[in-house]
Structures are given as structure tokens and as C-alpha cells.
Amino acid sequence: MLVTTSSSEFSAPGPRYNRRGPVRWLWSHLRRHVLHLTGFLGGSLIMVVLNSAVPQLTGAAFDAVLGEQGEPASALWLIALTLLAIVSARGLFDLVARLSSEVLAKRLERDTRDELYVSLLGKSQTFHNRQRVGDLMARAANDIRQLSIMVTPGLDLIVDSGLTGLVPFFFIAAIDPRLLLVPCVFAVLFFLALWHYMRRLNPVATRMREQFGDLNAALNEAVRGIEVIKVTAQEGQERRRFRAHARRYRDSFVRNGLVQARYLPTLLFAFAMAGAMWHGLYLHGMGVLTLGDLVAFMGLMSMLGFPTQMSIFTFSLVQIGIASSRRILGVIGAEDELEQRADGHAAPITGEIVFDDVTFGYEEGDPVLRGVSFTVRPGETVAIVGETGSGKSTLTKLVPRIYDITSGRVLVDGVDVRDWDLDSLRSQISTIEQDIVLFSRSVAENIAFSLGQRADREAVVRAAEDAQAAEFVAELDEGYDTVIGERGVTLSGGQRQRLAIARALLTDPAILVLDDSTSAIDSATEDLIQQAIGRILDGRTTLLITHRLSQIRWADKVLLLRRGELVDCGTHDELIERSRLYRRIFAHYDEAGVGDGPVEGAGDGATGGAADGASGAADGADDGPVLAGEQGGRR
């Protein structure tokens, strides 16, 4: 059963994020959490400043011991107490910074996952038809997890590294500005190497995330189709296919490692330390620096080793995080074919449906429906009949605006469905399909899915009884509280369809669509269900896709589709009388044993129509009169 819901509620005003690029998007998420962002940045800055003061105090201690002044004990006591206070304060601010970064990372992960999920719920069915489920799952799970890792330890270490690479320059300048020569040369060479590294790492990281998405999609496809794989004995082929995806993912990881291996910042730092030592000794020899100044200078220079070492690891995490954010934005920012009006029409539906010269195709230039026009009056039951692939199910999906039409108009109660508020429109339409979608939740929750918390247990039980589902539900271990497997795999096809019918009965829709909804139910159960459905048809508009004569008799009229065109319309008896195509369809069902027996009123024409149709199908002359009394039917 498909009880459609609107995406308008998912596009309601909420946090506004800048989606003009992955970095801007990430920043727009982070800046929402001002307190934790301030704690993270402020705590990191104070911690690095305190760290940089330690070499200064160490140098002062050397000067106190080696100085000409006697009794350095008092100075050393002061330095020791100051160092103790600095180390204690550094630990406190480090704790603040680490806690803030952890909270920031988890909130970023939570917010982006929520944004992606809301976006997916709001996308049109056309969008979802084009996606690979496994790749979407990789983006929703692993890529979003990469954003959290990018913040901590990635961004956490980058901020520490950046501040550690910047703050010591001020302390070095305070000792003697001439000491900045070697650190500045090192900084320029380091940033050139880092820029080259990032430029080479970016495409590799992006490719790595894409390969992971392909790998996950292949795994998901194999798991979903495991029964077909086993029945056709294709385990070997699928294993080779999966290994090929795994090999490509492994190769992208190897390329990432090669890029990192060719980045040699430690070599630059070694030369910088040697140059700094030579320069410091030279100034000390000239009497410009004391020994304590030299010790402090080399201590500050050694602090630059931290950002040098961490850059290999942290910038790789950041590049992977940016690549992941780009993939997530690719889904969130994808154009949605369904434009929704904020002030859309919302009203109770009486049930009138009008198709006015409607053309629709899933792909541009390949129409599935062509120039379809008809009118369904409120409370009418209309059967839709046609050969496989004629567009029957597609036609019904245009009423709740699952897809947007290519041209023409679809009107509900005289209002174009594009002008309706999707919540209001879809909440009053229920569709029961042959392919039933159930969730891994309790039986009661599945029946009440379309109403959520508004459904009470009594209404759920009553709907199950009307759908002839109460008997088998009572036999389950926990009755209505029994959790069924994903997509209802623990139930038979007939049981799944009865739950779907119960779900539709509970919503009390103004428009009901039955798409071959009793195909998986035995004859005895079907008779009971048809009685239940027959009761709810009164007073509501129903579109009925079926090949069963017993159900077609419910219809006030029948629409006959052929290759996406509406070729005739009338009652069952009228079409049997005048349409060879209609007779041929029912003769085919009768021969296949899927109908309800010989078609009344067809006489020998049912068989004869099949023979005649076989010879006349090429020219289409068997389609009968076109739409007497209907709006602009296609000829």
C-alpha cells in the first residue's frame, strides 16, 4: 500500500544553511552552535598561548641559574610556581576545547543527517527512481560519519596545529625580531608544499568516497536480490562483480596513501631546526642573545614540529570530509521536479478527477501516456484496463502528484494538482498496490502508519477485521504488537495485502486507488475482502486497476488504454460489444487462468476476438469507438 504524504512539511521553514559550496555549508552548520564553537576555538587559543609560555619560562630559568647575580633560588621558585599554574590552566582549557569539539562534531553529524533525511523525504519519486539505494545509504551513513571525523580529530587538530604554528611567532619576535628569519622561510616553504599536497589529495579523496558509494550500492543490490542470485546459481558471478568494486575501492585508498607518502614536511622541518640552531648560535656569539634566549627560541621552534607532523593526517581527514560533504550536498541540492506552492489549495476533497489532454513520460522524449482525457465524477468507480505496459499504474500516480505531467492538466475538484497543497491532497488519497510496502514495526503501527499517533487501537482492530486480517493477526505471537520483518518478509503475500487494505480502510480516503490489490489472495479470502472493499466504495471515488471480471463489475465505467493512449471508454458490457482489443484482453486472461471465468456477453467473441485481434493488432483497427460523451479522447 502506498499512502502518500507531502513533502511540504519537510520543506517548512527551519535552519537555513548556505549550500553554495561544501565549506560554506559546513560553516553554516557549525556557526549555529556558538557556545561550543567559542569554547572550542577559545579553549584551543588559550591552551596554545600557555604552551608557548613554557619555553619562555624555561629560558628564564637558564638565565637565572647561569646569571651573574647570586642566589637565583627566589627567581627559580617564582618560575616553578608559574609553570605549575600554566600547566594546570592548560589542562583545564584543553578539557574545555576537547569537550566542545566532541559536542560540535556530534551535533554536526546529527544536523546534517537530519537535513539529508528531510531532503530525501521531500524529493519527488522521479528523483528516487534514479538513485541507487546502496549509494544513498553510503551517503547517509558513512559520508555523514566522515563529517564528524573531520571535526574531531581532523578540524580539532588543524586548529591546534594552526594556532601552534602561529602563536610561537609572536613569542619569538618578543625575544628578538631577527630570529623570525628562519621560521618565516620555513613557513613559506611549508605552505607551498601543503598547497601542492591538498591539490593532489582533493580528487583522490573524492574518488575514494565515490568508490565507497559504488561498493555499498553493489552490496545492497546483492543482498536485496539474494534469492534470485541463489536460484540462478550466480554466486560466482556476483562474487567477481563485488571483488571488482572492492578492488577499485582498495586502489583508491592506495593512491591516497601514495599522495601522502610523497609529502615530506618532516624533511623541511629538520632543515628548519638546523638553520634555526645555526642562526641562534650566531646571534648568541655576537652577544645579542643570552643562553636562556637561545633555549627559549629553540623550544618555540620545536613547537612548529606539531603542525608539520599533523598536517599529513589532519588535512587528509579534512579533504575526505569535504569530499563527503560534496556528495551529501549533491543529494540535498538536487533539483526537485515537483515545485510546491507555499499557499497551495487545501480543502476536503469531494472526488472529481479530470485528465485534460495529459502527456507524461519518465524520461524526456519517451512518453508513457499521450493525450489522455477523461472525467471521473465524485463517488464513481472507474476501472482501468489495458495490456501490460499501457500506462495503467502510471496514470493513477499522477492523481496524488507522485510525478509531474509533461503537458496537459490533472484536476482534482476542479483545481490543478500542481496548485494543491501536497499535504492536503495526498492525505485524502490512498493507494493499495500489488507490491506492498510494510515497515519493520508492529502490525498495529503498520496499519496505523498513515494516521500516526491519531489512530487508536480500536480503530486499528476494526480496520483489520474489515480487511479480513484479524484472524491471522490473532495467531501471531504478540498479536497486533508483533514486529514484522523488513518489507513484511515474515508474512505471506495475502497477509501483506490484507494489512495494506486495513491501512487504507483506516484512512477513510476521498479517493481510493486499487492497483491489482487482491492478486496474491486465495479465492475464499478474496471474496471476503471484496465484500469489505465493496462497502467502502460507496460515496468515494475509486480508480480500479484489475483483470478480474468480478471487480470490473463494480465499475461505473471502464477506461481502455493501449500503448499510453485512451482508446475507448464505457461500461464493461459496452466495451465487450464494440471493442476487439477489450475482448482480446479478457480472452488472454481467461486462457491464462487468471480471470474469473468466461466473460459474460462475449459469447464466442471472446475467443474469436483473440484470433481477430492477433491478425488486426498491427493496424490498431480493433480499438472500437472512442470515448462517446467524454472529453477530447485520443483517436
Do both 161 and 265 map to the same domain? yes
Helix (H) or strand (E) holding 411, with range, is strand 407-412
DSSP-derived secondary structure for 572-613: HHHHHHH-HHHHHHHHHHHHHT-SSSSPTT-TTHHHHHHHHH
Report which of residues 571 and 590 the model is more confident about: 571
- Low-confidence winner among 11-15, 259-263, 470-474 (lowest mean pLDDT): 11-15
Instruction: Summarize the confidence of residues 538-557 as an average pLDDT.
Output: 83
pLDDT interval class at 53 (50, 70, 90): very high
Does the pLDDT value for residue 432 go beyond 80? yes
Last residue of a domain, one of 265, 300, 332: 332
Rounded Cα gap, residues 201 and 206, in angstroms: 9
Q: Let me know whether 267 and 217 are in one domain.
A: yes
Q: Is there a contact between 217 and 134 (Cβ–Cβ < 8 Å)? A: yes
Residue 398 lies in a domain: yes
**How far lies 343's CA from each of 340, 352, 427, in Å?**
9, 22, 17
Question: Which of 313-317, 361-365, 383-387 has the weakest average pLDDT?
Answer: 313-317
The predicted model gives 23-46 an average pLDDT of 91
Whether the pLDDT of residue 598 is over 50: the answer is: no
At residue 550, the 3 state secondary structure works out as helix
Q: Residue 4: which pLDDT band, with cuts at 50, 70 and 90? A: very low
Q: Provide the pLDDT for residue 330.
A: 85
Say how many Å lie between the first and final Cα of the chain, rounded.
Answer: 34
Q: Establish if 3 belongs to a structural domain.
A: no
The reply to whether 36 and 114 lie within a common domain is yes
Question: Measuring CA to CA, which residue among 242, 206, 214 is closest to residue 137?
Answer: 214
pLDDT of residue 11: 43
Average pLDDT over residues 207-221: 80
Q: Are residues 255 and 314 in the same domain?
A: yes
DSSP state of 177: G
155 and 278 inside one domain: yes
Domain shared by 123 and 149, yes or no: yes
The whole-number pLDDT of residue 161 equals 86
User: What would the pLDDT profile of 99-118 be if each residue is shown by its tens digit?
Assistant: 999 999 999 989 998 888 88
The separation between CA 104 and the C-alpha centre of its own chain, rounded to angstroms, equals 22
DSSP letter for each residue of 25-80: HHHHHHTT-HHHHHHHHHHHHHHHHHHHHHHHHHHHHHHHHHSSSS-THHHHHHHH
Output the pLDDT for position 613.
40
- Would you say residue 341 lies in a domain? no
Distance of CA 336 to the CA centre of its chain: 13
Set of cell numbers at residue 478: 504478540
User: Is residue 93 situated within a structural domain?
Assistant: yes
Closest by Cα among 382, 389, 387 to 368: 389
CA distance 194 to 106: 28
Continuous segment of H or E residues that includes residue 432: strand 429-432
E strands of 442-591, at which residues? 511-515, 541-545, 557-562, 565-570
Asked if 51 and 351 count as a contact pair (C-beta separation under 8 A), the reply is no
343 confidence band (pLDDT: 50, 70, 90): confident
Average pLDDT value for the chain:
81
How do strand 353-360 and strand 369-376 relate by DSSP bridges? antiparallel
Per the domain annotation, does 532 fall within a domain? no
* Of the residues 332, 361, 383, the one at which a domain ends: 332
CATH number at residue 375: 3.40.50.300
In a domain, 254, yes or no: yes
| pLDDT mean over 362-381 | 91
pLDDT of res. 635: 32
CB burial string 323-335: b at 16+ within 10 A, e below: bbbbbbbebbeee
Residues 80 and 103 in one domain: yes
The partner residues of 179 in beta bridges, in order of sequence, read: none
Instruction: Report pLDDT for 277.
Output: 94
Q: Domain for residue 533, yes or no?
A: no
Q: What is the pLDDT of residue 614?
A: 36
Supply the pLDDT for residue 162.
87
In a shared domain, residues 410 and 272: no
**Beta carbons within 10 angstroms of residue 442's beta carbon:** 17
Looking at per-residue confidence, does 1 or 180 come out higher? Answer: 180
Grid cell digits, residue 249 = 575501492
Q: Which amino acid is at 253?
A: F
- Is pLDDT above 90 for 532? no
pLDDT of 49 reads: 94
pLDDT in tens, 549-569: 777 877 899 999 999 999 999
Let me know whether 403 and 479 are in one domain. Answer: no
- Residues 571-589 have a mean pLDDT of 84
Could you tell me the residue range of the domain that residue 365 belongs to?
349-425+538-635
The answer to whether residues 542 and 420 belong to one domain is yes
543 in the same domain as 502? no
Q: What's the rounded Cα separation, in Å, for the pair 146 and 323?
A: 9
- For residue 15, the model assigns a pLDDT of 67
Whether residue 535 contacts residue 506, with contact meaning beta carbons closer than 8 Å, is answered with no
Q: Give the range among 98-112, 144-158, 432-446, 529-543 with minimum mean pLDDT.
A: 529-543
CATH of the domain at 312: 1.20.1560.10
Segment 285-308 mean pLDDT: 90
Yes or no: say if 148 and 141 are a contact pair by the CB < 8 Å rule. no
Percent of the chain with pLDDT over 90: 27
Q: Is 298 exposed, middle or buried (0-12, 13-18, 19+ CB in 10 A)?
A: middle
Contact 449, 439 (CB under 8 A): yes
Please give the tally of structural domains in the chain: 3
Helices 580-592 and 605-616, axial angle in degrees (round to 10): 110
* pLDDT for the residue 22: 87
Under a CB-based contact definition with an 8 Å cutoff, are residues 546 and 585 in contact?
no
Supply the pLDDT for residue 609: 39
Report whether pLDDT(531) > 60.
yes
Q: What percent of the chain clears pLDDT 70, i.e. is strictly above it?
A: 84
Residues 328 and 244 reside in one and the same domain = yes
pLDDT tens track for 63-103: 888 875 555 777 888 888 999 999 999 999 999 999 999 99
441 CB burial (10 A radius; 0-12, 13-18, 19+) = middle
Least confident of 142-146, 301-305, 413-417: 142-146
Per-residue pLDDT for 605 more than 50? no
The residue that leads in pLDDT, 233 or 112, is: 112
Is beta strand 381-386 parallel, antiparallel or unpaired with respect to 557-562? parallel
Q: Is 570 a domain residue?
A: yes
Which of 332, 360, 383 terminates a domain? The answer is: 332
Q: Which three cell numbers stand for residue 327?
A: 556528495
